Amino acid sequence: MAETRGAENGDRTPPGQLFLVDAHAHFYPVFDPAAFLDTAAARFDTAAAGRPATGYLLLAEVGGVPVFSSWRDGPLLARGWEIDTTDEASAIIARDDRARRFVVINGQQTVAREGLEVLLFGTDARVADGMSFQATVAAALECAPLVVLPRGFGKWWGRRGAEIRRAVDRYSDRIFLGDTPGWHPQTPGERALFATVRAAGIPVLRGSDPLPFPDHAIAVARAGSVLAGTPNLRRPLTALLGALRSRAEPTEFGAPVPKTGFVREQVRLRLRRHAASGDPPLRPTGV
């Protein structure tokens, strides 16, 4: 069991001049907490490559499961790990008995009526699923200081692509786009949309987007974004927002999932959803 304590070492801790940000992290009940935290710490260490840096997990809760508050209020059921609170209610520090540590930011993944996802971070507030996409984005911007529109496989074209474009046109200075390390073939419409995004100066933040399978506990931090700045472990959310304020395009760390791995993960996910619906098993063909 782990205790919950205040972050240490004064107001401005200088563990690094880089932010290593997994901007699309999930923790599911089927995950092993220690494996999840150990993997995140190891991947942040690898990405730092000897440079002074601090890792950030932007933790998007799914389905109303209160992961962040359960970690913050403890105990954290992960051997060797403890949680330190900060001066900000939506930011905590995960640290282990090997002196590794990284920031966890509270957030949510909500799904609009059109099936498009919206990620909101830095708030305890929650936005209901099932509203129109435009209403969902507007509600997220009302209650969260950081809103990310993550690209989903096969979702950013046609009518849904038009919805993304509307949000980009309306909120270009307030939103970020998200991308995951999967193999995402882009349609001509998607390529045109990404060209519009880059022309508008909207940064793309990378993240791991683990799926709800036990072995995906070690998918966390497999990819992310690198930002310049000096983290403040008393106010880590404020420090991250400051680093993002420049709207500069981040560099990235990690590697994409190979095409075969991506296809396999998508098939597993669709079979899981189909089984949950109670329909007869699918027989995937042509994959």
- Is 285 part of a structural domain of the chain? no
Q: Tell me if 228 is assigned to some domain.
A: yes
Q: Quick check: 151 pLDDT over 90?
A: no
- Positive or negative, the CA dihedral 68, 72, 73, 78 is positive
The total domain count for the chain is: 1
pTM (2 d.p.): 0.86
In a domain? residue 278: no
Tell me which residue range forms the domain holding 123.
Answer: 4-256
Q: Which two tokens stand for residue 107?
A: 């957030």
Query: Which position has the token pair 């990819």?
Result: 223
Residue 268 lies in a domain: no
Locate all alpha helices (DSSP H) within the chain, ordered by sequence. 33-48, 67-73, 133-143, 158-171, 188-199, 236-244, 259-277
Residue 182 included in any domain: yes
pLDDT at 257 over 80: no
Burial of 107 (0-12, 13-18, 19+ CB in 10 A): buried
CATH of the domain at 215: 3.20.20
Q: Is residue 269 one of the residues assigned to a domain?
A: no
The letter for the amino acid at 161 is G
Is 223 a domain residue?
Answer: yes
Condensed to tens digits (0 to 9), the pLDDT of residues 76-122 reads 889 999 999 999 999 999 999 999 999 999 999 999 999 999 999 99
Q: Pull the structure tokens for residue 244.
A: 């993002």
Is 283 a domain residue? no
Query: How many other C-beta atoms are found inside a 10 Å radius of the C-beta of residue 99?
Result: 6
Q: Which SS3 state, helix, strand or coil, does residue 83 take?
A: strand
